[in-house]
């Protein structure tokens, strides 16, 4: 038996990250569609027995009629392959949700309640157990409450959204929190999980295999590196094999380059061009230039950007270079520039948080560069 497990696709995500250019969000949303289609194409090509979607298929508050039409068409193209969906905290099942108001094809099975229920396919040994979030916060946490019948010869798997406590982070928060020991039920061969965007295996005490598939396409620089979905194979002896399948269309990557040894802008260009790149259609990169900046290439950041930008779909070139000037010495000058530097340094010292301090440092750097008539450093721009 072969199953396909994915989650956290977030179709129609906004991608409204500060600093991203116009049109970037639209391109990223299309990439999510392309990746979702490729997951289902793999299911058809491999003759999968079912597709398991462990929540957050889309962002309900932004789900468009066009996206729902696209998803319906892709599910229809699967033919007789059933799709099991366990709605998550971003796409909960409510009476007014897209899950409830859309006419889905006959092969789609959606869990609709915040309690464990099961689907059994006619002519198949497969039983799929799951539940639905009924709001951004689930009203009743079903983990630890799943019971299975005594050995009935069927293959029991689960699909669910939630936070295994060993994985909880301040960034993601805890939604329907549970411990692996409570979710690992004797007789449950595999539990397909969603919520955390990185693929990870959760160790269990009884042999139930439990995985977060992660998102099949990264959404931010916090999700750098290639992404995958999972192929689950269960043999006649009920042994379970999990195979990650690469899926990323675009890959986020972050790099730091120490520019201290570089004598010219060409050295910076060469260092960026030599960075290892992922095997993907597009690279979305944040490159932090740090260390000291030789006088010969001060003011050349825009030219550096223009030289390397074509190799990226999006490039955020961050200037974290040490100041070319001694700001403390400037602050001691009895001049208008000295007064400007003193004032900004004082505001930086009393900034309420790091974001405000970063903005003030940027203002100080920009003001000094403008006073000197130098080309201003950049903080990221879109390839034209």
pLDDT one digit per residue (tens) for the chain, 384 residues: 999 999 999 999 988 766 667 688 888 999 999 999 999 999 999 999 999 999 999 998 889 999 999 999 999 999 999 999 999 999 999 999 999 999 999 999 999 999 999 999 888 999 999 999 999 999 999 999 999 987 888 999 999 999 998 887 666 668 899 999 999 999 999 999 999 999 999 989 888 999 999 999 999 988 999 999 999 999 999 999 999 999 999 999 999 999 989 999 999 999 999 998 877 778 999 999 998 888 788 889 999 999 999 999 899 999 888 766 678 888 999 999 999 999 999 999 999 888 888 889 888 878 887 887 765 545 444 443
Q: Compute how many other C-beta atoms are within 10 angstroms of the C-beta atom of residue 193.
A: 30
Look up the pTM and report it.
Answer: 0.83
| CB-CB contact of 101 with 65 (8 Å) | no
Structure tokens at 152: 């009935």
Element (H, E) at 74: helix 65-77
Residues with Cβ within 8 Å of 138's Cβ and at least 6 positions away in sequence, in order, are 89, 92, 114, 162, 175, 176
Task: Fill in the DSSP letter of residue 268.
Answer: H
CATH 3.40.920.10 fits 2-246, yes or no: no
Q: How far apart are CA 86 and CA 106, in angstroms?
A: 17
Beta bridge partners of 288: 256, 318
Structure tokens at 298: 């001060």
Task: Fill in the DSSP letter of residue 23.
Answer: T
Q: Structural domain boundaries of the chain?
A: 2-246, 250-372
| CB-CB contact of 149 with 183 (8 Å) | no
Q: How far apart are CA 160 and CA 162, in angstroms?
A: 7
Owner of token pair 């030789």: 294
Q: Shortest CA distance to 5 belongs to which of 250, 189, 204?
A: 189
Q: How far apart are CA 189 and CA 317, in angstroms?
A: 47
Q: How far apart are CA 1 and CA 114, in angstroms?
A: 28
What pLDDT score was predicted for residue 375?
57
Q: How far apart are CA 215 and CA 195, in angstroms?
A: 9
DSSP SS3 for 353: coil
What pLDDT score was predicted for residue 378?
52
Q: Shortest CA distance to 33 belongs to which of 64, 5, 4, 2?
A: 64
């Amino acid at each position: 038996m072969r199953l396909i497990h994915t989650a956290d696709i977030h179709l129609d995500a906004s991608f409204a990250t500060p600093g991203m250019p116009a049109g970037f969000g639209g391109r990223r949303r299309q990439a999510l569609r392309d990746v979702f289609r490729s997951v289902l194409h793999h299911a058809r090509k491999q003759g999968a027995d079912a597709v398991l979607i462990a929540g957050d298929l889309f962002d309900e508050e932004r789900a468009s009629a066009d996206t729902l039409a696209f998803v319906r068409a892709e599910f229809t193209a699967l033919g007789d392959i059933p799709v099991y969906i366990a709605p998550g905290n971003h796409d909960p099942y409510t009476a007014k949700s897209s899950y409830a108001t859309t006419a889905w094809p006959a092969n789609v099975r959606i869990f609709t309640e915040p309690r464990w229920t099961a689907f059994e396919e006619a002519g198949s040994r497969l039983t799929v157990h799951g539940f639905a979030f009924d709001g951004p916060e689930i009203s009743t946490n079903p983990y630890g409450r799943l019971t299975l019948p005594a050995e009935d010869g069927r293959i029991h798997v689960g699909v669910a959204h939630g936070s295994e406590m060993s994985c909880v982070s301040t960034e993601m928060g805890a939604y329907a929190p549970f411990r692996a020991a409570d979710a690992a039920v004797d007789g449950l061969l595999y539990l397909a999980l969603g919520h955390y965007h990185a693929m990870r295996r959760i160790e269990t005490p009884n042999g139930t295999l439990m995985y977060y598939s992660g998102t099949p396409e990264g959404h931010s620089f916090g999700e750098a590196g290639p992404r995958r979905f999972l192929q689950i194979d269960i043999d006649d002896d009920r042994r379970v094999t999990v195979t990650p399948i690469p899926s990323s269309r675009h890959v986020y990557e972050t790099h730091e380059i120490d520019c201290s040894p570089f004598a010219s802008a060409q050295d910076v260009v060469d260092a960026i061009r030599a960075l290892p790149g992922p095997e993907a259609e597009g690279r979305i990169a944040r490159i932090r230039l740090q260390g000291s900046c030789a006088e010969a290439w001060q003011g050349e950041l825009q030219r550096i950007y223009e030289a390397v930008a074509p190799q990226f779909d999006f490039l955020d070139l961050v200037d974290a270079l040490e100041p070319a000037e001694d700001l403390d010495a400037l602050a001691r000058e009895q001049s208008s520039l000295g007064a400007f530097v003193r004032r900004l340094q004082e505001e930086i010292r009393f900034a309420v948080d790091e974001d405000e301090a970063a903005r003030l440092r940027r203002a100080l750097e920009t003001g000094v560069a403008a006073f000197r008539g130098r080309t201003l450093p950049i903080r990221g721009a879109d390839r034209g």
